[in-house]
A and B are shown apart, each in its own frame.
Chain A
């Protein structure tokens, strides 16, 4: 299971966008703070599809701001951090880092070989079980297929054995002892895990819809970008992994004139996709007022 990351979690700011690169941070923020972001990376195990995506996780400025306001995260100027960090790594650190990576690669290779062996044993068992000549022939084919599959994509094999990763002891001798090369997800290590103070950026700029965003978030909703339904946010009652969204959220200024057509369009669209159309905004009550956001939900009345 995930280990909880040290707080505050560094959020990478790179040319206008906010990212998370550490899976532990992603899991933690999702579980504890209902921040989902949007995964934008390619999943290396199955790279030719768009349904399941992987790291990095892109955060909306609103999400980054919320986390900073809660004191859970800080914004790091990642370009500067890399510029400063990569040139100033000590030689010993570099060598240790490379050794660690090699160990990891070796481990991965062993794991893969072990799985290969397992598959082979299974295939052999199959052969034993089926004594008939025809049956054993088939099993041999299967073994060939299994071997091919294992050789083609080492990633898949490791993924499959993800949970057994801990008990893959180094005592097992394996035929090939060359390590796999590893592309790590984050740059910490080799860079120091705490960013220097001059790499910390101020709180993110957020659009005027932020009060509504923060309000809905504080009520336990999970929010995601709303482009697919033509709104600002989609509000989910629980983790989007397991629940459909309930509201199409659009923010408005308190005294803003809202075009009636927009209400009709939003209401119809929302009802058509079995969601409510939610308009909300912060009342101008002056500073100090706690939660001045009000929300209205529009539904198509079937009269």
Chain B
């Protein structure tokens, strides 16, 4: 919206708070020189993001312009060449487990891979028998591939899953996100690289580079780079993001539909429903006028009889349930930063997100794809005093909703799709709004 209006960039006066909200700075390449203002947040009050910089219309051969461009590129280079450092005090070490979750091996490291695996098997068989957890055997998701022996810091509140040896196992996207932001020091397992330490020292292995992390983690366990872009983008903004049941191609999200429709209908809805069914049973429309013969005393009755076109009611459950197909299926559950989140018992998500790659899926989803996707989400009818009052907000909110994250080569756009129920809004049954401002009490004309 506002980002489309480039004139705004040349009008400093219009850069007040209001347009700032609509302008998404991340929508455009920003001049990295503004990062210098950001890089010294010694004054904590000055942590706001920079405003849009002034850009030039087109290149000209002036030295002045070339100098600015050079400065911008230099700032970008400096910012991006900054290494990811771990202060000894805050350092969190993790280990890559290429073969997925496994119980800890002996402290003394094996010399080569073959030995390691055979050793592990010998040791673990009794343990596995005692362990009741299905899948991985140690109670963590099978896609996990990085473990943190000594988890500390805030990140593990919403990430990872601990096994019974108190190690936290991270999913590929979690590990990649943390290594990328410089919060995790991931090490190659010694079984892959060979020993690195002198005799008697604790062998930590070789640190994993960002490049190696991408090579090892993207493409692993269903993590496409599109999904990762969505995950990391939302994490950066402070949202808590976890995998939804629809992540894997086989399983589908199962929603508890028992209680939801009852709440959704409400007394008013049920009354309408009853009225409607009562009415349709008496109306005779095959012959004669649509509204029927006889004396009509109420406009509402006439309107009701005129409603001959059936409409989609999102409240009525569809049976049998259709299966969603990739990419139109919910793969992420997202929680606002304000939502209290416990990773052992995640609450109802604030948003459900399906990730679409615009290069492979070039068309709009079909009605059946979209319908199935919406059906896989729980009923979320418009509720609250404001919604009851405002028709437009009700329509916009819809009865079910889902967010499509469309990714084009690293650029992400979010679209919200709501199942709006126009048929359920009886305009004729609404009280006519007040003469001008639509106050709560309709007043007679002044």
Contacts and interface: CB of A to CB of B under 8 A. Distances in A.
Interface of A: 1-2, 12, 14-17, 19, 21, 23, 26-27, 30-31, 36-56, 58-60, 78-79, 81-82, 86-87, 89, 91, 94-95, 97-98, 101, 104-105, 108, 145-146, 149, 154-156, 158-160, 162-163, 178-188, 190, 207, 224-229, 237-244, 246, 272-274
A87 B205 CA distance: 12
A23 B73 CA distance: 12
Contacts of A108: 83, 85
A102 B78 CA distance: 22
A14 B224 CA distance: 10
B69 interface: yes
6 contacts: A39-B80, A45-B82, A105-B85, A159-B82, A160-B40, A183-B210
B395 interface: no
B406 A242 contact: no
Contact of A273 (B5, B41, B49, B59): B5
B86 A160 contact: no
Interface in B1-52: 3-7, 9, 25-32, 35, 38-42, 49-50
B32 A228 contact: no
A216 to B, nearest CB: 15
B177 A42 contact: yes
A244 B214 contact: no
Contacts of A273: 4-6
B389 interface: no
> Which 8 pairs across A and B sit closest by C-beta, in order of nearness?
A15-B219, A44-B182, A38-B410, A227-B408, A273-B4, A181-B86, A240-B29, A238-B59
B193 A23 contact: no
B413 interface: yes
Interface in B146-200: 177, 179-186, 188, 192-196
A56 B211 contact: yes
B85 A242 contact: no
B232 interface: yes
B357 to A, nearest CB: 9
A183 B178 CA distance: 11
Contact of A42 (B68, B180, B409): B180
B54 to A, nearest CB: 9
B192 A86 contact: yes
Contact of A46 (B26, B38, B215, B407): B38
B24 to A, nearest CB: 9
B6 A225 contact: no
Contacts of B358: 227
Contacts of B207: 101, 181-184
**Contact residues of B: prevailing secondary structure:** mixed
A12 B211 CA distance: 9
Contacts of B210: 21, 41, 55-56, 183-186
B180 A50 contact: no
Contact of A14 (B7, B218, B232): B218
Given A50-B26, A159-B39, A160-B39, A241 B31 contact: yes
A65 B389 CA distance: 56
A226 to B, nearest CB: 7
A259 to B, nearest CB: 14
A240 to B, nearest CB: 4
Contact of A21 (B91, B188, B214): B214
Most B C-beta atoms less than 10 A away, residue of A163, A239, A274: A239
A92 to B, nearest CB: 11
A241 B6 contact: no
Contacts of A97: 206
Contacts of A17: 218, 225, 409
Nearest to A94: B196
Given A186-B210, A242-B31, A42 B236 contact: yes
Contacts of A52: 30, 32, 35, 38, 79
Contacts of A183: 83-86, 179, 182, 184-186, 207-210
Contacts of B85: 105, 108, 154-155, 158, 180-183
A94 B207 CA distance: 11
Most A C-beta atoms less than 10 A away, residue of B7, B180, B358, B408: B180
Contact of A227 (B25, B28, B49, B406): B406
Given A59-B409, A183-B184, 10 more contacts: A31-B73, A45-B39, A51-B25, A52-B32, A91-B195, A159-B79, A180-B87, A185-B210, A241-B76, A242-B72
B58 A243 contact: yes
Contacts of B408: 225-227
A186 B193 contact: no
A191 to B, nearest CB: 9
A81 to B, nearest CB: 8
Interface in B322-360: 358-359
Given A50-B233, A51-B26, A89 B77 contact: no
Nearest to B237: A50
Contacts of B49: 49, 51
Most B C-beta atoms less than 10 A away, residue of A52, A98, A105, A163: A52
A58 B41 contact: no
B411 A185 contact: no
A61 to B, nearest CB: 8
A228 B211 contact: no
Contacts of A188: 211
B214 A14 contact: yes
B212 A82 contact: yes
B77 A27 contact: yes
Contact of B215 (A1, A14, A105, A243): A14
Contacts of A160: 39-40
B95 to A, nearest CB: 14
Contacts of A79: 215-216, 219
A240 B6 CA distance: 14
Given A52-B35, A160-B40, A273-B5, A42 B181 contact: yes
Given A52-B79, A94-B196, A185 B56 contact: no
Nearest to A97: B206
Given A21-B211, A227-B358, A15 B42 contact: no
A66 to B, nearest CB: 14
B377 interface: no
A138 to B, nearest CB: 14
B193 A89 contact: yes
A154 B58 contact: no
Contacts of B215: 12, 14, 78-79, 81-82, 187
B81 A86 contact: no
B55 interface: yes
Contacts of A227: 358, 406-409, 411, 413
